[in-house]
A and B are shown apart, each in its own frame.
Chain A
């Protein structure tokens, strides 16, 4: 490791610029991925046999394809199909490297998050669902008010894991010219012939990012905590509405 490089402004300036890309890419693709992933998980568990197998196929394929290769095909492969090279889709998505990254990362995240949410749904105890039906809730309400909140809470730390994977995986975007935190670090490393020092600098920023994710997950965990039983000193009227 070289101290002069570690403390150089060139290095830190570069990786801070990469940090913006990492954050933007992670936040956007996690948001899209969570929406699509939750939908997929619901279809997989409650959908008709056909819909469920379509969702299962999606999850299988997009979890199976390495993100690097998915991105490569979407960015370099799509323009080889002529009808994709004109029109709205090209202008909005494929003409920009960053847009294509968001697409690829969201598709990939959706598959992983669908599995995580499905795992969460399966851990919801039968009694909790039966209680919902017993008090006369419709299936839809049981799912949205009981199953999903409990399922989400049960798979929260997996969502956290997934967020961290995405933060790390942003470096894959380098292959389509989008340089994230790690991409910038490797780039600086290639200029100064030092593969390791820039990675140490990147590790410090990762440490901060992961801490932020952990805080957010803990906060979400508290927010999704079920209402305390009657008699306990609870002050969460909004949670009690679930039963009303």
Chain B
């Protein structure tokens, strides 16, 4: 019997260790910021496995600005909302665009960055981004994004929309000729594709600044119950716009000072 009891105790301790995983620090509240690190120049990883990008610099500076402790975690987009709801993370960052639907569900401090949408096309293409020029064509973009919403609401049914799970996949299909254009965010398209391969791609027509899609800029996402955190973050963002820090970061990562508002 005693042997069994001892064994049981050992098992319980072992189980406790496995379950607990990481110890909880109770002294100071630490906020966990989640983002999916596969979207350069917003956020990606370097060869040491460290997360880098505009969002990382911005979030670190923002947390310092409002004097809170932050830990940035790499969370895949497929689980990011569940992680926020369950309290595993407290803030979603990574370049989410503010839309009315999103504001209904979450508090969205911001905007801290505002860039337009733009079509990436092969240099020889005649597409200029207008509804007429896209008639009968196939456009690729990321599923569930504001770009997709723009395609459905503004371009209409005469253009086929193909949905990818990353911008890279959509552009690979542009290379393969299966799509005629890719609708992307200009901030992502410029350094990643246009400047990297100027002989292959160009931006078609005018950039799209429609307030229903990109016009409200990018914001963070916070649970509605965390109003004071959201308020704090908002104050910090305002301060960083005023002191020029945000402009500095956007120069570093996008090659130009991008307006925050």
Contacts and interface: CB of A to CB of B under 8 A. Distances in A.
A175 B165 contact: yes
B80 A177 contact: no
Nearest to A177: B162
Interface string B152-181: 000000000011110001001101111000
A89 to B, nearest CB: 14
Contacts of B165: 174-175
Contact of A191 (B78, B144, B173, B177): B144
B221 to A, nearest CB: 8
Contacts of B106: 193
A195 B144 contact: no
A193 B81 contact: yes
Contacts, number: 49
Contact of B81 (A80, A95, A179, A195): A195
Contact of A189 (B81, B164, B173, B175): B81
Contacts of B169: 76, 175-176
Contacts of B101: 191-192
B163 A193 contact: no
A79 B175 contact: yes
Q: Interface majority SS on A: helix, strand, loop or mixed?
A: helix
B163 A195 contact: no
B28 to A, nearest CB: 29
Interface in A62-107: 76, 79-80, 85, 95, 97
Contacts of B144: 187, 190-191
Contacts of A95: 178
A196 B82 contact: yes
B179 to A, nearest CB: 9
B150 interface: no
Q: Interface majority SS on B: helix, strand, loop or mixed?
A: helix
B177 A190 contact: no
Nearest to B82: A195
B163 A177 contact: yes
A179 B173 CA distance: 16
Interface residues of B, number: 24
B105 interface: yes
Nearest to B76: A195
A194 B163 contact: no
Contacts of B79: 195
Contacts of A175: 164-165, 169
A176 B169 CA distance: 8
A186 interface: yes
Contacts of B172: 76
B176 A190 contact: no
Contacts of B173: 76, 177
Nearest to B168: A76
Interface in B162-209: 162-165, 169, 172-173, 175-178
B213 to A, nearest CB: 14
Contacts of A192: 101, 105
Contacts of A191: 101, 144
Contact of A193 (B78, B102, B164, B175): B102
Contact of B175 (A80, A174, A179): A80
Interface string A160-191: 00000000000000111101000000110111
B77 interface: yes
Given A193-B105, A194-B81, A195-B79, A179 B178 contact: no
B215 interface: no
Interface of A: 76, 79-80, 85, 95, 97, 174-177, 179, 186-187, 189-196
30 contacts: A76-B169, A76-B172, A76-B173, A76-B176, A79-B176, A80-B175, A80-B176, A95-B178, A175-B164, A175-B169, A177-B162, A177-B163, A177-B164, A177-B173, A179-B143, A186-B78, A187-B143, A187-B144, A187-B163, A189-B81, A190-B77, A190-B143, A190-B144, A192-B101, A192-B105, A193-B81, A194-B81, A195-B78, A195-B82, A196-B82
Interface of B: 77-82, 101-102, 105-106, 140, 143-144, 162-165, 169, 172-173, 175-178
Given A97-B178, A177-B163, A190-B77, 6 more contacts: A76-B169, A80-B175, A80-B176, A176-B169, A193-B81, A193-B105
Q: Please provide the 10 A-B residue pairs with the shortest distance between their CB atoms, ordered closest to farther.
A: A190-B144, A79-B176, A195-B82, A76-B172, A193-B81, A177-B162, A191-B144, A195-B81, A187-B143, A193-B105
